[in-house]
Structure 1
Amino acid sequence: MLLLRAREKMMERFRPLITAHGLTEQQWRVIRALHEHGPMEPRQISDLCTISSPSMAGVLARMEALEFITKERFPDDQRRVLVSLTPTSTELVATLSGDLEARYAELESQVGQGVVDQVYKAVDALLAGLEGNSV
């Protein structure tokens, strides 16, 4: 419950920026993941964005209809699809980046850089422990 409360408090800061641009939280996570990691297969995006595969199929279909992403089949295996950002999504990232960075700066100012650093470190350690990796 504590992690869910923390997530919701964080999203209260960022959700208005995302929705003001006509995006859902899931769509923004997909755009951000593709922007940071480059083109990926839907399964990889699902894992990275913590969106279930059945939900991801719908999210990607809507994003393709809105021209946020493109899908391209692999030439050697037509069952596989590579998802990429469109110029529209790349522009959205550029547009939102400044506002998002300002919100992060406000957060750091409010709670302190040390707290933010500790939280990142603790969450990284938690994830590493749950995934069986060492930090």
Structure 2
Amino acid sequence: MSTETPFVHRNLPRLLLEAREAVMQHTRPSLREHGLSDQQWRVLRVLGEHAADPAGVETGRVAREALLLGPSLTGVLTRMERDGLISRARCPQDARRTVVRATRAGLKLVATLSQTIEAHYAWMEERLGKARLAQLYTLLDSVIALEVPDADEGGGAGWTEEDAA
């Protein structure tokens, strides 16, 4: 029996998770200081990125962009609504659907936390160099496009919430 591993390549999923955890070590303390979980932050970030849309964001889109499964998103949104960070309403075009918006308090939190997060990204850019950080973004976008060809249409095969958290 051979003791050699059959693997030739390094464990890419594990490396990506380790990289995620390394980056989140800088973000989590700020999130916790404001009473947010990683999942709540991802929802707020999505809503902050779409804050200019007066129609709000459909919950399905929030789930896709925040990498949350529907049942978990429901619980996260319920807590966030209770805490005054988001509001939910029926979609005017289709009453079967729900749209979500960040409240003023939610957007204020996004603005506050974005300063800390952007400062960390600037530090990373300083350490890695602008070109290498841009290359990292490009490579990650390429891997995502390669593995999930329909990513723009909301595909997401193979991920779990634990991977995204």
- Measured after TM superposition, the shift of residue 91 of structure 1 is 0.8
Matched, 1:112 2:129: yes
Q: What is the SS of the residue equivalent to 2:68?
A: coil
**What is the percentage of aligned positions where both structures have the same residue?**
41
Match 2:25 to one of 2, 9, 12: 12
Matched, 1:100 2:117: yes
- Who is 1:24 aligned against? 37
Cα distance between partner residues in 2 of 1:121 and 1:76: 36
Letter of the 1:54 counterpart: P
Cα distance between partner residues in 2 of 1:132 and 1:35: 26
- Who is 2:66 aligned against? 49
- The one-character-per-residue Cα deviations of 1:16-55 (angstroms, maximum 9, x if unpaired) are 1111111111111101101112421111111111111110
Rg comparison, structure with higher value: 2
Point out the structure with the larger helix share. Answer: 1
TM-score, normalised relative to structure 2:
0.75
Structure 2 CA distance for partners of 1:46 and 1:111, relative to 1, 3 Å:
same
Cα distance between partner residues in 2 of 1:77 and 1:132: 28
- Measured after TM superposition, the shift of residue 75 of structure 1 is 4.1
- Who is 2:160 aligned against? none
- Measured after TM superposition, the shift of residue 76 of structure 1 is 5.2
Matched, 1:87 2:104: yes
Greater shift, 38-47 or 74-83, is seen at 74-83
The alignment yields a C-alpha RMSD, in angstroms, of 1.5
Greater shift, 117-126 or 30-39, is seen at 30-39
**Count of aligned pairs between the two proteins:** 133
- Measured after TM superposition, the shift of residue 115 of structure 1 is 2.2
- Who is 2:76 aligned against? 59
Cα distance between partner residues in 1 of 2:97 and 2:128: 45
- Who is 1:2 aligned against? 15
Q: What is the SS of the residue equivalent to 1:83?
A: strand
Structure 2 CA distance for partners of 1:65 and 1:116, relative to 1, 3 Å:
same
- Measured after TM superposition, the shift of residue 99 of structure 1 is 1.8
Unpaired stretches in structure 1, ≥5 consecutive residues: none
